[in-house]
Structure 1
Amino acid sequence: MTRIIVADDHTLVRAGLQRILAGSENLEVVGEAANGAQAMALLEQTPCDVLLLDLSMPGRSGIDLIVQIKASFPRLAILVLTMHGEEQYAVRALKAGAAGYMTKECAPAELVLAVRKVVAGGVYLSLAMAERIASELATSTVDTPGYRRLSDREFDVFLMLARGLTVSDIGDNLCVSAKTVSTYKARVMQKLDLRSQTELVHYAIKHNLLRDEL
């Protein structure tokens, strides 16, 4: 029996995932968490084989959380299930230690397939995401784009700003102060040599980082 913990801050999403997985042979949801802190506490108390993880829960950055979890539970397979379809998120998640990455638009059958693959020691990416990553690698130049040099938290803030969220909105999403977000914003602007919010949005569009919003 494959034991699964679902970590997502939306109750309806957790309930839907529970139904999908419970209807599949040899898969059992043994716990649910609504944020990173709950996920860590649950993992310490409840043995499991796969963590189904949303990247956008309140609190600690999803990428940071993956690093923390893998440090404490190196044998745990982490399968990211998220709204973020940008390949840069997928690359960062895999580098941090995730065994798979898929968006919430996936079909139930694909989710079950992904869980079975990562628990067997494999890596799972949807075909569309794999093609995006391969295309980016094939077309990349020797010069590394500036956005790849952003830290994981800076990249989070950068994309939220590009989507039109205010500093206060971002602070609420990440459970940090507006002052902290402003510091990250200043670092992003400096690293990318941008002078205004408009330039930041244009930069994100130019590098196809908002393709799911267009």
Structure 2
Amino acid sequence: MRILLADDHRLLRQGLKQILAEEFPEAEFAETGTTRETLERVRQQAWDVVLLDIFMPGRNGLEVLDEIRQSDKPSPVLVISSAPEEQMARRVLKAGASGYLNKQAAVEHLIQAVKKIATGGRYVSDAMAERLAAEVGRTGGLPHERLSGREFQVMQMIVSGKSLKEIAAELSLSVKTISTFHTRIWEKLGVKNDIELVRYAIEHRLEENSSA
């Protein structure tokens, strides 16, 4: 089994490796700390499981997930994050992930998730599975679920207090492009200004600091 650990926190990668090596002693591990390194490794070869921190510095994590899915050597991805499961699970599953696991999950859940995904399955917690099952047949959804990966990222940065100019510089995009995202976010969420945007984000636990 080949497992790629993609997280910008070295101590976390080492902890994950130690846990998984005990359960899968024959596994081959590799580590990456940036989105660029991660994409380079998945382009080089297929992995049985990629454990991906969706909020690594650099490119938007959902875009990275999409690139992994569309690569010549697609690998199943288990997204790991400290963001609340109800906030991110649906989004990453729709983007092509094979599972979602909160970083605070118990060790046995981590092992269960890796085993299931490595054999072609999907993984979410039992509680999340019940929520998803209850939603089958329903129409619509929450407004923020309509945001693209980049729009979601820009929304979080606006809510954190960054200006459009600061966001543009950080994402290496033009201010005009960020302004367009800003307008789309307002339209999709049905808000009229950034005060309402912040209120919406807090109500739905979408703030950037809840996703570290």
Shorter-chain TM band: 0.7 to 0.9
Partners of 1:43 and 1:74 lie apart in 2 by: 7
Could you list the runs of 5+ residues in structure 1 that have no partner in the other structure?
none
Task: Tell me if 1:37 matches 2:36.
Answer: yes
Greater alpha carbon shift after TM alignment, 49-58 vs 28-37 = 28-37
- Count of paired positions: 207
State the secondary structure of the residue aligned to 1:59.
Answer: coil
Change (3 A) 1:206 1:73: same
Partners of 2:39 and 2:108 lie apart in 1 by: 28
Shift in Å at residue 30 of structure 1?
2.2
Partners of 2:75 and 2:46 lie apart in 1 by: 10
The answer for the alignment partner of 1:52 in structure 2 is: 51
1:21 and 1:29 in contact (8 A); partners too: no
The answer for the alignment partner of 1:158 in structure 2 is: 155
Partners of 2:140 and 2:76 lie apart in 1 by: 33
The answer for the alignment partner of 1:200 in structure 2 is: 197
State the secondary structure of the residue aligned to 1:194.
Answer: coil
Match runs of 1:67-82 below 5 Å: 67-73=66-72, 75-82=74-81
Task: Tell me if 1:84 matches 2:83.
Answer: yes
Shift in Å at residue 132 of structure 1?
4.1
For 1:161, give the aligned amino acid.
Answer: I
RMSD of Structure 2 on Structure 1 (CA): 2.9
Shift in Å at residue 107 of structure 1?
1.3
Could you list the runs of 5+ residues in structure 2 that have no partner in the other structure?
none
Shift in Å at residue 156 of structure 1?
2.5
Q: TM-score, normalised by structure 2?
A: 0.82
Match runs of 1:166-185 below 5 Å: 166-167=162-163, 175-177=171-173, 179=175, 180-185=177-182
Q: TM-score, normalised by structure 1?
A: 0.81
Partners of 2:166 and 2:131 lie apart in 1 by: 29
Q: Percent identity?
A: 39
Change (3 A) 1:204 1:86: farther
Change (3 A) 1:48 1:132: same
1:122-146: CA deviations, max 9, x gaps? 11001233244445x2796x45543
